[in-house]
Structure 1
Amino acid sequence: MSSPRSTIRNVLTLLVVLTIGFGLGAFVTRYPGTATRTALPDVLASLAPGASTDVATFKTVWEALKDRYIEANTNDQQMIEGAIKGMVNALGDPYTVFLTRDEAKAFQDEITGTFEGIGAEIGRKNDRLTIIAPLAGSPAEKAGLQPGDIILAIDDVDAETLTLDDAVSKIRGPRDTKVTLMILRGLGDPQSIPVTRETIVVDSVKATNIDHDGKTFVRIQVAGFSNDTERLVRAAAQKALNDEVDGFIIDLRNNPGGYLDQAVRVASIVMKSGTVVSEVTRDGERRNLDVRGNAILADQRIVVLVNGGSASASEIVAGAWQDAKVATVIGTQTYGKGTVQELESLDDGSNLKLTIAKWLTPSGRSITEAGITPDIVVERTFEDVSAGRDPQLDAALDHLMK
């Protein structure tokens, strides 16, 4: 069967924002257009005996299941999707993922910024199910979940027995329903945290003026990099300039990523020239993505706040500004996600997310695993959060006062 798809490529670095866990990373999107694909049964039927031992075995197993499995009415679509998932999972890359039609739709819903769930990005780190970033004001944050929390169980189901997709399915659910997570934080004892799901509406940008010791600063919180983030950040920055504020705090904490193009454009609000990020392909080819747009905040006093929930696109921005020495990075070590994925929309509504490149900061740093090290390290503990204290924000204000 033929299945068209286009060669149009929209670069994004979407870190699957929000209770999803389809993986972290930078993405290049493909949409249905003009290529050819053959249905799996047709592929199997066309295989010549002995052409490939492994593929021939696949064909034998397929036929055995179709011919002799006790339940005669096997679902070809589910078997095909299961085979594809197994093939993709065999790569051992948590960021290369096949999404069924329903999963792809859920993914797109989350990109648009409205969904039902707990409002936390989850993924696998060191082969353990981990909270990457709870959204500001989300049920996950209200319940006390923090970046780096390891999920041991979901409603008494051992997380080690679940794939990432299975875990996501168990955590997601209708508003006003409850899910209980058993989590491990640092060296402490496991603790059970119930979370009531809500409808999550994500505002990617929020600006607030802060008066501090006779001066006024603006804090621009960027929750993710969606289609309109650059426009919103630029508008907030321009308003602050018109108000003649004394400095800028760009808050990228718990920002799990977003469109790469938007990250480059946001970085360009501060950088006058140069490279924002470089991509390196499997062949070693390096492609630089340079600044674009008017740097209206060039020469302004800027602090960037980051933490362990800052990943991918937010690391690109923080790393670019740090390398260019146009902003001071304050907070804790970032997540460390430095690969690029191609997000391909397939004919039947399913998606394939495939790692195709790594990215480097302008100075050539790879942040995979290591993350971005802040210029000034300031912790914010669970006790700080519970008490409404924000020593990282305080440190940013103190730095801007100097």
Structure 2
Amino acid sequence: MRDRVDVGGISADPAPLSGLVASTDSREVPEGDYFYEISQLLKQRYVEPITDEQKLALGAIRGMVASLGDPDSLYMDKDEYRVYKNAKAGKYEGIGVYVELEYSDEPSVQAKGSAHPVDTDEALLGGMRIPKLTVVTVVPGSPADRAGVQVGDWVEYIDDHWVPNAATVISFRKLEKAVQQGKAKLEDLVKERVELRQRTKKTLLPLKAKDKLVMGTSGTLKIVWRRGDVARTTEIKKEASAFSTPNPEDPALRLAFNSEAPNLLKKAIQGKSSIVIDLKNNAVGDFGSMKQCLEALAPSGVYGSLKTAKTSIPFKTESGNANPPKVVLLVDESTRGLAEIFALALSSSKIAKLSGSEMSGHRIVVEDNSLPDGSGYTLATAEYKVTAK
């Protein structure tokens, strides 16, 4: 049940509160009516005239998406959304990487006072989930690639500003606990506390740090990366970079799930009995294009399921290739999202063989939506599940 909203204000002659906002009825109200009443209240009671109703609507969307607390569901301003759409097309700014907010492990322990489970380490943070800004794609030949950045590296500092992450805070909490148990020295804890306080004086929040890495084509960034327990400092100059245009005659066809992918794949398999497809460095794409590529390589049928908030629906193709070629898919930890779903759908059905290392484990369908002012947002809509054979 939604709690009653009490919005106060100071006015010599306050406008009457109407409808749902003023009501003391504790019954749940339709969301559309609720937000309409709030917008009317703001326009009636706010100290300055409100002339831009679109701004109110966009602010509501921004807040609702942020409230999900989901690293795959993000609001982006028009510049951030432009960069995101370009990345889907294989064109990059910044240092030539795609980065995501990643948590350390799958949640497993229920945090006190939280509706969301957290893992054991995150319980040390009082139930907070602090992500690491992690590289999931490196464009070959990009500034990041030339500097030795790899998929899985995560950002600790940018231009001497600390990017908060769970690893640092958890390390401090563990040391604190060890001191309480007599397993560590108090002076070590004091030293660690002083260092942590120094870090917090110059911080850069993860989403702002992400913008610095992926936006712009000029300037140089001093970045401290973490790879396991090893820290590396690099100075990387921003510039435009892009994946090379795929050629149907390439020994291994790099397949990015954009609007051109289905026709490219059909051309590549024409007259061939086998094909090698490179799905590495593949983090973003279009669900419809991925499904069309699946239809080009596999007979019609069910290829797993998509688990949503309310149900689980079959992931199936209505049309397909009755005589598919032999398929080998090149994969590694940079194969994620739609690329991983595509790989699992084909490999679990014995239509394709996987070659390479373990994939990321990220099997979320993410859709993106544009807004009238050029901004947009992503929304995680389903999780892919392999059908047991």
TM-score by length of 2: 0.65
Residue 315 of structure 1 corresponds to which residue in structure 2?
Answer: 340
For 2:233 and 2:42, how far apart are their aligned partners in 1? 43
Instruction: Render the CA deviation track for 1:86-119: whole Å, top value 9, x for unaligned.
Output: 4432322111122233333333333344342222
For 1:45 and 1:183, how far apart are their aligned partners in 2? 54
Structure with the larger RCO, 1 or 2 (CA within 8 Å, 6+ apart): 1
Residue 160 of structure 2 corresponds to which residue in structure 1?
Answer: 156
Counterpart code for 2:94: G
**Structure 2: segments with no counterpart, 5+ residues:** 1-16, 27-33, 104-130, 165-202
Counterpart code for 2:369: E
CA RMSD of aligned residues (A): 3.9
For 2:347 and 2:252, how far apart are their aligned partners in 1? 18
For 1:291 and 1:118, how far apart are their aligned partners in 2? 41
- Pair 257,347 (structure 1): closer, same or farther in 2 beyond 3 Å: closer
Aligned ranges 1:149-228 → 2 under 5 Å = 149-160=153-164, 161-188=203-230, 190-203=231-244, 205-206=246-247, 218-222=251-255, 224-228=256-260
Residue 262 of structure 1 corresponds to which residue in structure 2?
Answer: 289
Residue 317 of structure 2 corresponds to which residue in structure 1?
Answer: 290
- Pair 162,360 (structure 1): closer, same or farther in 2 beyond 3 Å: farther
8 Å CA contact 1:315, 1:334 repeated in 2: yes
Aligned length: 301
User: How far did residue 277 of structure 1 move?
Assistant: 4.5
For 2:209 and 2:304, how far apart are their aligned partners in 1? 32
For 1:108 and 1:129, how far apart are their aligned partners in 2? 20
**Does 2:313 match 1:280?**
no
**Structure 1: segments with no counterpart, 5+ residues:** 1-43, 210-217, 365-402
Residue 266 of structure 2 corresponds to which residue in structure 1?
Answer: 234
Residue 102 of structure 2 corresponds to which residue in structure 1?
Answer: 125
- Pair 49,171 (structure 1): closer, same or farther in 2 beyond 3 Å: same
User: How far did residue 174 of structure 1 move?
Assistant: 3.4
Counterpart code for 1:219: A
Residue 167 of structure 2 corresponds to which residue in structure 1?
Answer: none
Counterpart code for 2:241: I
- Pair 281,194 (structure 1): closer, same or farther in 2 beyond 3 Å: same
Instruction: Render the CA deviation track for 1:244-275: whole Å, top value 9, x for unaligned.
Output: 8xx53221111113112222222333322322
- Pair 130,350 (structure 1): closer, same or farther in 2 beyond 3 Å: same
Q: Residue 198 of structure 1 aligns to a residue in which SS?
A: coil
For 1:293 and 1:318, how far apart are their aligned partners in 2? 16
8 Å CA contact 2:294, 2:342 repeated in 1: yes
**Does 2:363 match 1:338?**
yes
Counterpart code for 1:314: A
- Pair 201,168 (structure 1): closer, same or farther in 2 beyond 3 Å: same
User: How far did residue 303 of structure 1 move?
Assistant: 2.3
Counterpart code for 1:290: T
Larger radius of gyration: 2
- Pair 292,338 (structure 1): closer, same or farther in 2 beyond 3 Å: same
Residue 10 of structure 1 corresponds to which residue in structure 2?
Answer: none
- Which of these residues, 137, 143, 156, is aligned with residue 139 of structure 1? 143
Residue 30 of structure 1 corresponds to which residue in structure 2?
Answer: none
Q: Residue 377 of structure 2 aligns to a residue in which SS?
A: strand
Q: Residue 258 of structure 1 aligns to a residue in which SS?
A: coil
- Pair 194,238 (structure 1): closer, same or farther in 2 beyond 3 Å: farther
Instruction: Render the CA deviation track for 1:154-177: whole Å, top value 9, x for unaligned.
Output: 222212154443122211343343
Counterpart code for 2:239: E
For 2:268 and 2:333, how far apart are their aligned partners in 1? 25
Sequence identity, in percent? 26
8 Å CA contact 1:281, 1:357 repeated in 2: yes
8 Å CA contact 1:205, 1:233 repeated in 2: no
Counterpart code for 1:128: K
Q: Residue 146 of structure 2 aligns to a residue in which SS?
A: helix
Q: Residue 341 of structure 1 aligns to a residue in which SS?
A: strand
Residue 85 of structure 2 corresponds to which residue in structure 1?
Answer: 108
Aligned ranges 1:90-105 → 2 under 5 Å = 90-105=67-82
Q: Residue 184 of structure 1 aligns to a residue in which SS?
A: strand
- Pair 164,82 (structure 1): closer, same or farther in 2 beyond 3 Å: farther
Q: Residue 307 of structure 2 aligns to a residue in which SS?
A: strand
For 1:254 and 1:110, how far apart are their aligned partners in 2? 12
Name the stretch that deviates more: 311-320 or 283-292. 283-292
Instruction: Render the CA deviation track for 1:281-316: whole Å, top value 9, x for unaligned.
Output: 222141432263436643x3x322111111111101
TM-score by length of 1: 0.63
- Pair 80,273 (structure 1): closer, same or farther in 2 beyond 3 Å: closer
For 1:271 and 1:87, how far apart are their aligned partners in 2? 39
- Pair 81,274 (structure 1): closer, same or farther in 2 beyond 3 Å: closer
- Pair 345,46 (structure 1): closer, same or farther in 2 beyond 3 Å: farther
For 2:291 and 2:211, how far apart are their aligned partners in 1? 32
Counterpart code for 1:110: A
